[in-house]
Chain A
Amino acid sequence: MTGELPVLLGLLLVAAAGTGAVLVRDPVRQSFVLSLLGLSLAALFLLLQAPDVALSQLAVGSALTPLMVLLSVRKVRRKARSERREERE
């Protein structure tokens, strides 16, 4: 039973990071929480004896997905900013 304590902690971390990723409404901040979720999922998978899956999650979840979210936000915001300026003119 004591051997499974790390798994339990990992599960709690994943649940907390997942909840945070939903409740943080600003997409920029959300992408950081998503990256944290990716890292904690990778740690959990490692504890569940799945190094292949952890490697995949580490590469994708902690870097690739948050990066794409950030780039989309930048594109959308830049568009919105230039339009607001236009309206003011």
Chain B
Amino acid sequence: MTMRLRMWVLALGGLGVAVLYVLACLDLPSFGGHRHPYGDRAVRAALARHTANTISSVNFDQRALDTLGEESILFGSVLGTVVLLRQTRDEDRQQPEPARVAPSVRRYALFALPVTLLIGLYIVAHGQLSPGGGFQGGVVVATSLHLLYIAVDYRALERIRPLGLYEVADAAGEAAYVLVGAAALPAGWAFLGNFLPYGTFNTLASGGTVPLLNAAIGVEVAAGVVVLLARFLDQAVEIVSTDEEAEGRA
């Protein structure tokens, strides 16, 4: 297809989408309107189950099965990336050289690492109370570990990152979610039903199964992101194809 023809097809398709989108928007409630029937019901249900953060209640209680699906997509993508970016037969590992880091950068990164890690864990733990939860906190925890790469070098990061363990933790997070869901069945509830006592409103242990599922997601997201970044870093820093390596020696 020539560039000209492609632009015409694109313009035609874009115009069609734009017309349909405008027609659809005309029927949408206007921005900032006061009619939110589903939202109001979700808030009521969350308060009835003693969960202060309604969004966590929607994610891990009212629509927990939906989150199981989302989490499986995450698990599948991590698995796919691991398979695609593995070291193939015609590739070798090159030891990364120790890098010199400016002392001020090192001081700052070494100070920021534990603080960020703690913030990440706090965000996971308080998911049912304040804004945050397993999804956000997991990403923060995973990225905080990589401050070590900035502070020292790649080899230091590899020392605190036994990749096999993180891969197991990723699978364990997924399994824990399913097991907590299945634990509701003997108690006479539906799969992923909130079968635990709801606890006192606005305390860490409130919300029944919400904190447990939240923690399972936190583990899975943190481990998954660490594994993802490890694969990309390996490809960018360590793994070279054999012809590249011969090039480097010459």
Which residue of chain B is the closest to A74 with respect to CB atoms?
A: B236
Quote the shortest CB–CB distance from B86 to chain A (angstroms).
Answer: 14
Contact B139 A60, beta carbon cutoff 8 Å:
yes
Task: Compute how far the CA of A48 lies from the CA of B134 in the bound complex, rounded to whole angstroms.
Answer: 22
In this complex, the member of A4, A52, A72 whose beta carbon has the largest number of chain B beta carbons within 10 angstroms is A52
Q: Which of A55, A60, A75, A79 contacts B132 (CB 8 A)?
A: A55
Is A56 on the interface with B (CB-CB < 8 A)? Answer: yes
* Secondary structure dominating the interface of A: helix
Given A52-B53, A78-B244, A85-B247, are A72 and B232 also a contact pair (CB < 8 Å)? Answer: yes
Residues of B within 8 A of A16 (CB): none
* Secondary structure dominating the interface of B: helix
In this complex, the member of B32, B131, B140 whose beta carbon has the largest number of chain A beta carbons within 10 angstroms is B131
Beyond the given A59-B140, A64-B143, could you list 7 further A-B residue pairs with CB under 8 A, ordered by the A residue number? A52-B131, A55-B123, A56-B135, A56-B139, A71-B235, A71-B236, A82-B247
Task: Write the residues of chain A forming the contact surface with B, with a CB cutoff of 8 angstroms.
Answer: 4, 51-52, 54-56, 59-60, 63-64, 67-68, 71-72, 74-75, 78-79, 82-83, 85-86
A-B contact pairs, 27 of them (CB 8 A): A4-B32, A51-B131, A52-B55, A52-B131, A52-B132, A52-B133, A52-B136, A55-B131, A55-B132, A56-B135, A56-B139, A60-B139, A64-B143, A67-B232, A68-B229, A71-B232, A71-B233, A71-B235, A72-B236, A74-B236, A75-B235, A78-B240, A79-B244, A82-B243, A82-B244, A83-B243, A85-B247
